[in-house]
Amino acid sequence: MGAQTSPREAAMQEQRSILVLGGTGYIGGRLVPRLLEHGHRVRVLARSAQKLTDVPWRERVEVVEGDLLRPADVEAACAGIDVVVYLVHSLSASGSFEQTELQTADNVADAARAAGVKRIVYLGGLHPDSAELSRHLRSRKAVGELFLDSGVPTIALQAGIVIGSGSASFEMIRHLTEVLPYMPAPRWVRNKVQPIAVRDVLHYLLGAVEAPGTINRTFDIGGPDVLRYGQMMNGYAVEAGLPQRPIAALPVFTPWLASQWVNLVTPIPRRLAVPIIESLQYDCVVREHDIDAVIPPPPGGLTGYRRAVRLALAKMRAGEVETSWHGASLDDAPADALPSDPDWAGHTVFIDEKHRTTSAGVDELWSVIEGIGGENGWYSFPLAWAIRGWLDKLVGGVGLDRGRRHTARLQTGDALDFWRVEQIQRGSRLRLRAEMRMPGRGWLELETRDAGDHRVYRQRAVYFPQGLAGRLYWYLLVPFHGVIFTGMANRVVLEAEARTRRNREGGQGA
């Protein structure tokens, strides 16, 4: 007789229809391909399907457009679904995000119950029993409780700091440790936390989707190490080959002041730093290990903190960051697409447009366009770009330090310094939407087209001002545009021509 299949193995072999909410985010973008590898059918709900245009798994999933705040959209997304995976969390640092999060969760719970969904899988946060939780931890706890009371069996996983290439928590640790040789820090550097590697989070999420039976409860998940936050920073320093940093815990650092500090010395914008820092005000460690009876630990055991850091650094150095916090949509960042030109009629629109003719090759010109930003810079007046980035940081924006996910290749939805890739037609057009703080909405388009024996490079900045402040903002910057945008157009073309010459000379030498 052959070996019998265990209930868990049988569940893993069963193909299920999975709706992933938050599939464009850091965890969701990694979970989707793993669900596909296990043979599941996957549907992803996104406010804009265009954001998923270039992800490697796009053609293997069903993408539906919709908004979680619209019940009809959620009901349509839940139709025919076996398991809903809820990975949505607000990145707002202010406002009524708690009410919004409860409303979206309530819409999902109602739609899942009406559609006969068999399970909800929710990823929340580790938290103490204290009644005085931060707003973000309180909100995540409330969402989990809402799902548990919904009538749909729910596995609510509760994780602490997630360590992986591109995670916001890891990037905060990395930049704080690398930038500051001496660390004046808030008292929370002495608090105990239990970090978990992103690969282990994905292991538990996949296990929760596939677990047999009817389960309705929370489970704490965490890595094998319980550390103080200061120990995490110095653990990073050791793995990165840096001297360990002296750390002084100062009582004057309130969460608000700490978020300003993090905003200034790391790429993490204030609105994202606030929820991370608020969650560090407490000891957040695993209080029970009941998950082991439902989802066994991964083969080889859970990943220790130092090994998780080592793996994350290796991914970064190899340029293999699968997803990043950069791709997360910020609640108060502009999200509207650039209207088509005829739609501008009757509106105030400011445009700065440059054209250049060049002998550069098609591939070389496009490589310069697609490689712009990040460490490659913006090909004009670096000091002016740096000042604009710092001003954006000072008012809580993302600044220029956000960089880019890959050194040479972009995809729709990627963050690029204080821009976001709104549209990319590889080889011809790159459109960036401004996410810096300003009184209006802005875009930057970079295009190339053939014109017989030469190429034409077109660069266009488009700005829709908001009120008087928006108009004053544009007019104050006009003197700089002549330097910044003119210099940018000239240097993009010169760099493309230089690459063309080097490639031709290399080909002749061969």
Q: Of 272, 301, 320, which residue sits at a domain end?
A: 320
Position 83 in a domain: yes
What pLDDT, on the 0 to 100 scale, is given for residue 289? 93
Same domain, yes or no, for 36 and 82?
yes
What pLDDT, on the 0 to 100 scale, is given for residue 93? 46
3-state secondary structure of 364: helix
Q: Of 302, 320, 338, which residue sits at a domain end?
A: 320
| C-alpha angle 313-52-413 in degrees, rounded to nearest 5 | 65
Residues in a beta bridge with 435: none
Position 357 in a domain: yes
d(CA 24, CA 145): 24
Same domain, yes or no, for 430 and 500?
yes
Spatial CB neighbours of 345, under 8 Å, sequence gap ≥ 6: none
Residue 49 lies in domain:
17-320
Give backbone dihedrals phi and psi of 45, rounded to 5 degrees, phi first.
Answer: -95, 130
Q: Of 275, 301, 320, which residue sits at a domain end?
A: 320
| pLDDT tens by residue, 356-403 | 999 999 999 999 999 999 888 899 888 888 888 888 887 777 788 777
Same domain, yes or no, for 299 and 190?
yes
Same domain, yes or no, for 381 and 275?
no
Do 166 and 415 contact (CB within 8 A), yes or no?
no
What pLDDT, on the 0 to 100 scale, is given for residue 92? 53
| pLDDT tens by residue, 224-242 | 999 988 889 899 999 999 8
Position 456 in a domain: yes
What pLDDT, on the 0 to 100 scale, is given for residue 3? 44
Tokens coding 241: 């080959």
Position 305 in a domain: yes
Position 410 in a domain: yes
Same domain, yes or no, for 297 and 374?
no
Spatial CB neighbours of 220, under 8 Å, sequence gap ≥ 6: 126, 158, 286, 287, 288, 289, 290, 291
Same domain, yes or no, for 313 and 380?
no
Position 328 in a domain: no
Tokens coding 17: 């229809």
d(CA 62, CA 419): 28
- Whichever domain contains 421, its CATH number is 3.30.530.20
Residues in a beta bridge with 321: none
- Whichever domain contains 242, its CATH number is 3.40.50.720
Same domain, yes or no, for 499 and 442?
yes
Same domain, yes or no, for 310 and 359?
no
Return the residue matching tokens 């009901």.
Answer: 75
Same domain, yes or no, for 380 and 275?
no
Return the residue matching tokens 């970079």.
Answer: 446
d(CA 401, CA 393): 9
Same domain, yes or no, for 260 and 360?
no
Same domain, yes or no, for 159 and 210?
yes
Give backbone dihedrals phi and psi of 210, rounded to 5 degrees, phi first.
Answer: -100, -5
Same domain, yes or no, for 374 and 303?
no
Helix (H) or strand (E) holding 141: helix 135-148
Segments in 166-221 forming alpha helices (H):
168-179, 198-210
What pLDDT, on the 0 to 100 scale, is given for residue 346? 54
Give the 3-state secondary structure of 64-103: EECCCCCHHHHHHHHCCCCEEEECCCCCCCCCCHHHHHHH
Position 1 in a domain: no
d(CA 333, CA 398): 10
Q: What is the domain count for the chain? A: 2
Tokens coding 96: 């009524």
User: What does the CA dihedral 310, 315, 317, 320 come to, rounded to 10 degrees?
Assistant: 180
Residue-by-residue pLDDT tens, the chain, 510 positions: 344 445 445 544 578 999 999 998 889 999 999 999 999 999 999 988 888 888 889 999 999 999 999 999 999 999 999 999 999 986 554 556 788 899 999 999 999 999 999 999 999 999 887 667 878 888 899 999 999 999 999 999 999 999 998 888 888 888 888 877 776 667 777 888 999 999 999 999 999 999 998 999 999 999 999 998 888 989 999 999 988 888 777 665 566 677 777 777 777 777 777 777 777 777 889 999 999 999 999 999 999 999 999 999 998 887 778 887 766 655 545 556 666 554 555 567 888 999 999 999 999 999 999 999 988 889 988 888 888 888 888 777 778 877 787 888 888 888 888 898 988 998 999 999 998 888 988 999 999 998 888 899 999 999 988 888 888 988 888 888 878 899 999 999 999 999 999 988 876 655
Tokens coding 126: 């580790």
d(CA 127, CA 88): 18
The pairing of beta strand 350-358 with beta strand 415-416: unpaired
Position 406 in a domain: yes
- Exposure string of 136-145, with b = 16+ CB inside 10 Å and e = fewer, is bbbbbbebbb
